[in-house]
Amino acid sequence: MKALAEDAHVPVMMVTAFGDFETMRQSAECGADGFISKPADLRELALRVETMIRTKRVVDELYAKNRELEELGRFKESLLSMTAHDLKGPLTGIRGFAELTLHKLEDPQELKELMHDILLISSYMGNLLENLLNLSLIRSGSLELDIVPVALKTVVEESLRLLKYELQGRKLELRLEDMQVAADRGRLRRVFVNLLGNAVKFSPPEKPIHVTTRRSDGFAQVLIRDEGIGIPRSLLPRLFEPFYRAARKEIRSVPGSGLGLHIARCIIERHGGRIEVKSRVGLGSLFTFTIPLS
Ligand SMILES: Nc1ncnc2c1ncn2[C@@H]1O[C@H](COP(=O)(O)OP(=O)(O)O)[C@@H](O)[C@H]1O
Ligand SMILES: [Mg+2]
């Protein structure tokens, strides 16, 4: 019976006509939590059942806490291994490029390109650290928003400036309506940086990236579209989970930590908005989110 119930921790009371010690011992060995011999006093039976229910509640709580702790442990492990792994790559890159510059001091053009690569990697590391910081605030429930009226266009421009190395040489199609939103400026920039960063990473350099903002039912609606590799439909449901990176050969060489979309969604939802994705493999992806108008 206990084996059948498995995770439910069902307490079992043995009610039997055999009141001897041997029967008691056997039933305890088989997993019974209580024992009462017939004819049973109904009041005693009720009292025992009540005690068992109380114990079961405590046991259930303990198991739930235990599961929570296990989940937290796994989360911390992924965080640690991800961070170590993700910071090692770019650091090696920076060191390599910096060493190369020492040998290229006479060639200004090559020097410029190497410096650009260093700045690009630093920008990547900066964004990763920002995401980690946001994640820790989200997990501890202390992500505070400083909501003020802000021009959406300005936030887009600031985000593009933050991504200037990533966006170099990329074609942007901007259709931005003038409007004020009620938002935390820094956090909203983070959403743009994460979504635009993905559009850059997951589409070929010759393809444009489209950013459109428009009004819709008291909200500002933002559409970020790329013409890149797209996302298989089966992977869409898990896309916003922390640390989720689609298991696809196409993205194996693309650096990332699987935090960007999770953080974007948390920030948008905390503003009272929504984020969704539509995508077709080989054609591109469209991320749409809303933010309340001020
Ligand atoms: N614009 C996009 N085109 C194709 N795939 C995307 C796009 N944006 C996100 N993805 C997929 O979703 C995953 C999770 O994205 P994200 O949370 O930003 O993590 P990361 O960029 O660090 O991999 C990515 O690894 C990628 O597989
Ligand atoms: Mg990303």
Residue having the nearest C-alpha atom to atom 8 of ligand 1: 198
Give the global pTM. 0.79
Whether residue 90 has its Cβ less than 6 Å from ligand 1: no
Could you tell me which CATH number the domain at 148-292 has?
3.30.565.10
Architecture per CATH, 74-139 = Orthogonal Bundle (1.10)
- pLDDT tens for the 294 residues of the chain, in order: 767 776 667 888 888 888 788 888 888 888 888 888 888 788 888 888 899 899 889 999 999 999 989 988 888 887 887 777 778 888 898 999 999 998 888 888 999 999 989 998 998 888 888 998 899 899 888 899 999 999 999 999 999 999 999 999 999 999 999 999 999 999 999 999 999 999 999 999 999 999 999 999 999 999 999 999 999 999 999 999 988 887 788 788 888 888 999 999 999 999 999 999 999 999 999 999 999 999
Are the C-beta atoms of residues 17 and 38 closer than 8 Å to each other? yes
CB 48 within 8 A of CB 34: yes
CA 57-69-51 angle, 5° bins: 10
d(CA 264, CA 155): 15
Ligand 1 in reach of 259 Cβ (< 6 A):
yes
Task: Give the count of beta carbons closer than 10 Å to the beta carbon of residue 266.
Answer: 21
257 lines ligand 1 (CB under 6 A): yes
From residue 58, how far is each of 7, 14, 54, 231, 258 by CA, in Å? Answer: 14, 21, 7, 45, 37
Which ligand sits closest to the CA of 278? 1
Cβ of 265 below 6 Å from ligand 1: no
Q: What's the gap in Å between 61 CA and the centre of ligand 2?
A: 37
Q: Where are the domains of the chain?
A: 2-67, 74-139, 148-292
Regarding the beta carbon of 210 and ligand 1, being less than 6 Å apart is answered no
CATH superfamily, domain 2-67, is Response regulator (3.40.50.2300)
Contacts with 214 (C-beta within 8 Å, 6 or more apart), sequence order: 175, 177, 220, 221, 223
